[in-house]
Structure 1
Amino acid sequence: MRFMSIIISAQIGMPTPELMEAMGKLADREIKAGRMIDTAGLMPMETGARVSIKDGKLVIVDGPFVEAKEVVGGYAIFEFQNKEEALALTVEFMQLHIDHMPGWEGTCEVRPFFTPDMGNVCRPHSAAVA
């Protein structure tokens, strides 16, 4: 199963060099094992934009986004046998933050990708509308 991990935090800023090194080692291990498909950190909010629908009209807002309380800082895509494997690696990844960036607070959300063989069990919004 393919999973996406999304790191979210209210704290803005770059990880410490120690955390970057530890995450690099973890990523190298997972790439060599064939489990990590892709990963990246995201640029600051001021470099982005949002496109929303409000009252049936498109609204485009350039960053930074004043109302943002939490920010997606990065993501990773993995191939695992099951959710338990995904959670085990996520716990290891979050422990790196405790070990190498004391005081940091955040969340890593882990979600499986939708696949066509799932049928109506977990239909994405866009497919439900079509």
Structure 2
Amino acid sequence: MEENIGTPPQALFDAMDEHIGERVANGVFLDGGGLYGTEDAVNFVVRNGEISRVDGPYAEVKEVVGGWSILQYDSLEEAVADQEKFAELHAKYWPEVTVITTMRQISTGPEESGD
């Protein structure tokens, strides 16, 4: 999401509480939380075998990860549909902000590929 855009409206917090509560109740939501801005962030960059440290805030950054969640679904279709519902909450309750939601699978290691 965009950084330094202010606090989300209370209506979005309320809608998210209900949305997440439903997923906790049915066992889909496993864990998650919000993230602070980049003002206290620390990056370690590995390049050509050398490590450098870069402390925030980062003037060139316009968008940052604002939060994360781990959810478990029975199918990809179910996950995609629910991700769209999550995006719809932001469109409805905070339409003036740009939010990008990204869904990715978690890799648990070589046993997934049969190795």
Is TM-score (shorter-chain normalized) higher than 0.5?
Answer: yes
**Residues 106-130 of structure 1, C-alpha deviations (whole Å, 9 max, x = no match):** 2111011113333289xxxxxxxxx
**Residues 65-118 of structure 1, C-alpha deviations (whole Å, 9 max, x = no match):** 122232000011001112111111111111111111121112111011113333
Question: Structure 1 residue 15 and structure 2 residue 8: aligned?
Answer: yes
Deviation at 1:29, TM superposition (A): 0.6
SS in 2 for 1:26: helix
For 1:91, which of 68, 84, 92 is the aligned residue? Answer: 84
The 10-residue stretch of structure 1 (31-40 or 66-75) with the greater mean CA deviation from structure 2? 66-75
Separation (CA, whole Å) in 2 of partners of 1:120 and 1:42:
35
Question: Structure 1 residue 29 and structure 2 residue 22: aligned?
Answer: yes
Contact in 2 for aligned 1:11/1:105 (Cα 8 Å): no
The alignment's TM-score, normalised by the length of structure 1, stands at 0.79
Displacement over 4 Å in runs of 4+: none
Q: Greater strand percent: which structure?
A: 1
The alignment's TM-score, normalised by the length of structure 2, stands at 0.88
More RCO (CA 8 Å, sep 6+)? 1
SS in 2 for 1:97: helix
SS in 1 for 2:101: strand
SS in 2 for 1:53: strand
Q: Percent identity?
A: 30
- Structure 1 unaligned spans of 5+: 1-8, 122-130
Contact in 1 for aligned 2:34/2:66 (Cα 8 Å): yes
SS in 1 for 2:30: strand
